Amino acid sequence: MTNRDNNHIPRLNLIAIRSSHPELSVQFYELLGLTFEKECHGKGPEHYSSQNGSYVFEIYPSGVTQQAENVVRIGFCIENLNELSNTLKQSGVVFLAPPKDSPWGRRMVVLDPDKNRVEIIEQHPSSM
């Protein structure tokens, strides 16, 4: 890894947790001042989402067969997705979703060494 100047440091934009009692988790986080809406993307599960300035905090239901891995999902916004994608491929990183355009910008999903999902987005300039 190389040091980068502050202009190229990824900006955290997503935190997603799984909960066996999502409604209770929503109530807890609402006590902290967050506001949630129910959402569902494509064929994914219904979940709760809170937009907070530069990041989104989501609460997903955990399934009965949910394993300990993939409990946390982290998201970053970066400036050059293709460059990072090439670097990650050369490092042997596992891709769950290769780079492609999405409503949120150009996006890919990879696994970190602990098998947590890491979503990386190059947002459209108008979204940043």
Grouped pLDDT means (10 residues each) for the chain, 128 residues: 62 87 88 89 91 89 62 83 91 93 91 81 68
Domains of the chain with CATH codes: 6-127 (3.10.180.10)
30: its two tokens: 């609402």
- Could you tell me the end-to-end alpha-carbon distance of the chain, in angstroms, rounded to an integer? 25
**Nearby residues of 57 by Cβ (< 8 Å), 6 or more positions away:** 14, 15, 16, 29, 34, 49, 50
Chain segment 51-79, per-residue pLDDT in tens: 988 899 998 988 755 555 556 778 888 88
114: its two tokens: 């602990």
Reported pTM: 0.64
